[in-house]
Amino acid sequence: MPIAFKEWAVTVRALAEGEQLITLRKPVIRQPGKPIRLAHERFFLYPTFDHETGDLVRESHQPELRRALEEGVWSDGEPMLGAFTSGAPVQQPDRVRIRAWAQVAGQFTVTDPRCVDALSPFCVWTSDYAERRLGWRRHQPLHVLLLRTHRIPRPVTVRVRDEYNASHPWVELQRDLPFEGTPVLSDAEFERASEEIRAITSEAGQPVLA
C-alpha cells in the first residue's frame, strides 16, 4: 500500500501548486556523526486539518486557507473558515483528496533563525511558524526537507480511517496509487530554487542527506 506524509492542508495545497518547495520538521535526536534518515523518501501528500491557525500563513497567501478546505470532504458540510483558521479543534473530514506526491531532493539541519526567515520565499508560512507550530527552540537544529512535488493526473478521494488521525506523520493508504504525474515546476525552475535553498541552508547548517 502507498505511504503518505501528513501535512497541513494549506501546506499540501501550496506544495501541489508549486508555491512551496520545503517543509520543516521538529528537532530530532540522532547519534553524532550519523545522518538523519527518513522512513520514506517518496510519498503522497495527505492533508490534515488539526489546529490550522491562519495567523501562521503569510498575508499574501491567506486566500489559500479557503482553498485548502477543498482538500477535505465533510458529510455535514465543510467547517466555517473562521473556525478552521483559529486553531480550535474542528470536525475532521470523512474523506480527503490526494492530489500530489513528493520526492525528497535534499535534507538539511539549521539552527539560525535568520536562515528560517531567508527560506520564506519557498513556503507560505510566517517567520514564527517553526517556533509556534513546531515548538522549535533556537538552540536546537531544525530539519528542513526540500521536496520535488508532482501532481497526479486526477485527484483521488480516500476515506479517513481512525488510524490516520494518530500523531505519527506517516499513513498507509488503503488503496493503490501509482507514482505518476507532472512535476509542479520545470526542471530548470526547480534547479534554480534548489540552488538558492542549498545556499541558504549551507550558511546556517549542513546537509544531512542529498
pLDDT digits (tens, 9 = 90+) for 35-49: 556 789 999 999 998
Q: Report the pLDDT value the prediction gives residue 87, as an integer from 0 to 100.
A: 67
For the cut 90, the answer to whether the pLDDT of residue 79 exceeds it is no
Phi, psi of 166 (to 5 degrees): -70, 165
DSSP string, 42-70: EEEEEEE-TT--GGGB-GGGTHHHHHHGG
For the cut 50, the answer to whether the pLDDT of residue 177 exceeds it is yes
Contact 12, 97 (CB under 8 A): no
Q: Which domain holds residue 32?
A: 3-209
Q: Report the pLDDT value the prediction gives residue 207, as an integer from 0 to 100.
A: 46
Q: Supply the mean pLDDT for the chain.
A: 85
Pick the closest to residue 21 from 116, 105, 114 (CA basis): 105
Q: Report the pLDDT value the prediction gives residue 5, as an integer from 0 to 100.
A: 95
- Band (pLDDT 50/70/90 cuts) for residue 66 is confident
Task: DSSP letter for 1, please.
Answer: -
| Strand, helix or coil for residue 203 | helix
Strands 72-73 and 42-48: unpaired
- Band (pLDDT 50/70/90 cuts) for residue 203 is low
Tell the burial category of 162 from Cβ atoms under 10 Å away from its Cβ (0-12, 13-18, 19+). Answer: exposed
Q: Report the pLDDT value the prediction gives residue 4, as an integer from 0 to 100.
A: 95
Q: Could you tell me the CA-to-CA distances from 103 to 49, 86, 99, 184, 203 in Å, in that order?
A: 23, 31, 14, 12, 24
For the cut 50, the answer to whether the pLDDT of residue 32 exceeds it is no
Q: Report the pLDDT value the prediction gives residue 169, as an integer from 0 to 100.
A: 87
For the cut 50, the answer to whether the pLDDT of residue 186 exceeds it is yes
Q: Report the pLDDT value the prediction gives residue 28, as an integer from 0 to 100.
A: 54
CATH code, domain with 89: 2.30.130.30
The number of distinct structural domains making up the chain is 1
Q: 44 — alpha (psi -120 to 50), left (phi > 0) or beta?
A: beta
Strands 95-110 and 170-172: unpaired
Average pLDDT (75-93) is: 76
